[in-house]
Amino acid sequence: MKISHFTIALLHSPRFILMLGVFAAYFFGWMFSEIAEEIWIEKEIFPLDQITSAWMADGQHPLGQQLFSALTMLGSFKWLAILALAVAGLLIYKKLRLESIILLGGFALTAISIMLIKFLSDRTRPYSNLSLLENTMSFPSGHMAHSLFVYGFLAYLLSRCVRNRMHSLWIMISGVGLAGMIGISRLYLNVHWLSDVLAGFTLAAAYLCLCIAYLESARHNNNEALPNKII
């Protein structure tokens, strides 16, 4: 019983939650740095990138292109910026100012990071009819990074409205899954290399872990329930 009480107390400790989030962010940040070092610094070419790109190019189908083109629009910067602003407005209306600040701040940090890294990396995209229409560099995938942060953060907020832990977990999985499907759409349309998508995922995951850990530690520190009033 003493161990059980200690474990419960530890899991509800603001410092432990924050440390856990920092550790997760460090892990994803380390993964991103490993990918970036090979591509950005050493200019390595991953065989798996070329294999995946060739496979996607050979497997193109008109119906698949239509479906994944529609899906990839859910990861566009303009749409996600509008969605983030709308949700932030709702959070402010519900007197959840900290959550709105973290949402907009994290999204802005993700967007600025992607923009700077794209400019500095100068990596060309795989060759396809659709990639020729893109006017930014390939590394890392902005669609993947922006989608994971916004949909992951929204899933986290919605999960706090649900008391059932399994339902809460499924909401989080759905948010991350939607972002993952958007990343897959970028591969299917052959506008990104596999390593671009993985880099976008790990970078956004690092920021997302930090933001969620900070909000969770603040919530437990204040003994308040987060957004039970969002909807």
Give the pLDDT confidence score for residue 103 in this predicted structure. Answer: 97
> Please, are residues 196 and 141 in contact by the beta-carbon 8 Å criterion?
yes
Q: CB burial class (10 A; 0-12, 13-18, 19+) of residue 139?
A: buried
Give the pLDDT mean for 113-131: 83
Instruction: Select the more confidently predicted residue: 227 or 193.
Output: 193
The 10s digit of each residue's pLDDT in 2-23 is 444 444 444 455 566 778 888 9
Give the pLDDT confidence score for residue 14 in this predicted structure. Answer: 58
Give the pLDDT confidence score for residue 110 in this predicted structure. Answer: 97
Provide the token pair at 115. 């923009």
> Please, are residues 200 and 183 in contact by the beta-carbon 8 Å criterion?
yes
Continuous segment of H or E residues that includes residue 87: helix 77-93
User: 230 vs 90, 101, 224, CA distance in Å?
Assistant: 8, 15, 14
Provide the token pair at 69. 């083109």
Give the pLDDT confidence score for residue 65 in this predicted structure. Answer: 85
The 10s digit of each residue's pLDDT in 146-183 is 999 999 999 999 998 888 888 888 999 999 999 999 99
Q: Is the pLDDT of residue 39 over 60?
A: yes
Q: Checking phi first, is residue 123 left (phi over 0); if not, alpha (psi -120 to 50) or beta?
A: beta
CA distance 69 to 48: 23
Give the pLDDT confidence score for residue 226 in this predicted structure. Answer: 45
Number of residues that make up the chain: 231
| Mean pLDDT rounded to a whole number for the chain | 85
